[in-house]
């Protein structure tokens, strides 16, 4: 019994020495702190905006996605139905849509850096609508993250628009 106790004490003492050796000063820890891009989004005027007044969903053309005139929140809700099975509460405004799209992106396996880059390039609302469109076609998209990354590259080259994507979803034939 005493031999086991001595071994346990020696092991604990070795672990304590190892913990002391691994501890770092504040200066050493400081370089591990990562900075998020949230401040960059705010200064550029893109990303999630929390200062929107709460408005009910309507068909007015004044509520449109960034960079893509003509895509209203009501059109998005009418066209993209899949997200409503996960989030049945009614959307009130664009920040609600962006928040839901962030959660759906995680569910689809889209990594956070890919989503951040999409928001930076397309704008928060356009990236959110794109994620909802990807959810609608999830069965035919093998890698949603790679697909969003490609659409983001197209947006950087000004070769991407939400309008054709939304039109394709509106005109799809539902096979039962």
3-state secondary structure the chain: CHHHHHHHHHHHHHHHHHHHHHCCCHHHHHCCCCCCCHHHHHHHCCCCCCCCCCCCCCCCCCCEECCEEEEEHHHHHHHCCCHHHHCCCCCCCHHHHHHHHHHHHHHHCCCHHHHHHHHHHHCHHHHHHHHHHHHHCHHHCCCHHHHHHHHHHHHHCCCCCHHHHHHHHHCCCCCC
Residue 72 covered by a domain: yes
Q: Does residue 34 have a pLDDT over 50?
A: yes
Residue 23: inside a domain: no
pLDDT value of residue 171 = 87
More confident of the two residues 7 and 125: 125
In a domain, 143, yes or no: yes
Domain housing 100: 38-170
What confidence category does residue 90 fall into, taking pLDDT thresholds of 50, 70 and 90? Answer: confident
100 occurs within a structural domain: yes
Is residue 26 domain-resident? no
- Residue 174's pLDDT is 56
Q: What is the pLDDT of residue 5?
A: 59
Number of folded domains that form the chain: 1
Does residue 8 fall inside a structural domain?
no
Asked if residue 13 is part of any domain, the answer here is: no
Flag whether 27 is in a domain.
no
Give me the mean pLDDT over the 2-20 stretch. 60
């Amino acid at each position: 019994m005493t031999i086991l106790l001595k071994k346990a004490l020696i092991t604990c003492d070795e672990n304590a020495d190892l913990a002391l050796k691994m501890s770092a000063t504040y200066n050493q820890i400081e370089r591990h702190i990562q900075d998020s891009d949230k401040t960059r989004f705010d200064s550029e005027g893109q990303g999630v905006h929390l200062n929107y007044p709460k408005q009910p969903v309507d068909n007015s053309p004044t509520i449109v996605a960034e960079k893509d005139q003509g895509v209203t929140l009501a059109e998005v809700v009418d066209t993209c139905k899949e997200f409503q099975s996960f989030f049945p509460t009614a959307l009130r405004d664009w920040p609600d849509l962006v928040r839901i799209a962030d959660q759906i992106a995680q569910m689809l396996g889209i990594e956070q850096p890919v989503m951040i880059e999409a928001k930076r390039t397309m704008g928060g609302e356009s990236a959110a609508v794109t994620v909802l469109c990807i959810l609608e076609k999830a069965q035919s998209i093998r890698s949603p993250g790679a697909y969003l990354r490609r659409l983001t590259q197209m947006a950087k080259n000004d070769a991407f628009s939400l309008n054709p994507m939304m039109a394709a979803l509106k005109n799809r034939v539902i096979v039962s």
